[in-house]
Amino acid sequence: MSFILAIQLNDSIIVASDNKKVTINLKGELNFSNESICKIFPWKNGMITGTGEYFVISRAVSIFNNIEGLAPEYLSDCLEISRRFREYEIGKDYFQVAHTKLMYSVYTENGAQLYRVESFESNYNYQVSKAEPMDITIWLFNPTVETIAVNLKALYDDLKDRSYFKNNTEWVSYYIERIAPIFKKQSQQDWLMSQSFDIFFQSKDGFIYDQIPNI
């Protein structure tokens, strides 16, 4: 699983994801790798990320990127195909596989927009939903968020559009300063995530990507 924090502003988006690799082997056991991986994948119009089982996410993104001209709305189909392949490999009824979901961004006239691809039903009827302006999405495995509740509220109360800042350096620094403690604190509660994270900023003028060790 992954810890993802995504912010939809009026004119831009920010997505941060931990970089701990957790997969399921053929015996159904969780494998933990010392290798740090990036869970934010590029595509021509923004980024794609997800939470759940890494192989399901990465294969869905690979299917999508290898079909030229495919609209992002078809990511739900790519996710279903990838999930079915994974179930064929290791079997069904694995929580990480069953609850894998995706998030992607696109450029818009006003800046950038986030969309979520997820299922709320046992029949895997994936739905695509649009993030609302000035909204924070948190995807996590461990539902205990008491240790970061104050940080999340402060982040929400202090949300500011890209246009508020003089330059990208100010924009990026402002949000990293507020997001870093959230990853550090939550990683102490959730052994399936790292305190280090990757972060992606996107506005109408382009995108910025950075890796934060968070030591």
In the chain (215 residues long), the average pLDDT of successive 10-residue segments reads 92 95 69 80 96 92 94 95 92 85 96 94 85 95 84 97 98 98 92 91 96 92
How far is residue 159's CA from residue 20's CA, in Å, rounded to a whole number?
Answer: 27
Euclidean distance between CA atoms 208 and 172, whole angstroms: 8
Give the number of domains in the chain: 1
The alpha-carbon radius of gyration of the chain (Å, integer) is 17
Strands 12-18 and 206-212: unpaired
Does any domain span residue 33?
yes
Q: What is the pLDDT of residue 24?
A: 67
CA 133 to chain CA mean position, Å? 17
Residue span of the structural domain in which 87 resides:
4-210
Give the 3-state secondary structure of the chain: CCCEEEEECCCEEEEEEECEEEEECCCCCEEEEEEECCCCEEECCEEEEEECCHHHHHHHHHHHHCCCCCCHHHHHHHHHHHHHHHHHHHCCCCHHHHCCEEEEEEECCCCEEEEEEECCCCCCCCEEEECCCCEEEEECCCCCCHHHHHHHHHHHHCCCCHHHCCCHHHHHHHHHHHHHHHHHHHHCCCCCCCCCEEEEEEECCEEEEEEECCC
Q: Give residue 28's pLDDT.
A: 67
Identify the CA nearest to 19 among candidates 143, 205, 200, 144: 200
Contact 104, 113 (CB under 8 A): no
Instruction: Decide if 215 is inside a domain.
Output: no
pTM, rounded to two decimals: 0.92
> Is 124 a member of any domain?
yes
- In one-letter notation, the amino acid at residue 146 is E
Report yes or no on 153 lying in a domain: yes
CB 81 within 8 A of CB 74: no
- In this prediction, residue 141 carries a pLDDT of 74
Structural domain contains residue 8: yes
Confirm whether 147 is domain-assigned.
Answer: yes
Alpha-carbon torsion 43, 48, 54, 56, what sign?
A: negative
Specify the pLDDT at position 23: 67
Compute the distance between CA of residue 168 and CA of residue 166 in angstroms, rounded to an integer. 7
Q: Is residue 121 part of a domain?
A: yes
The enclosing domain of 111 has a CATH number of 3.60.20.10
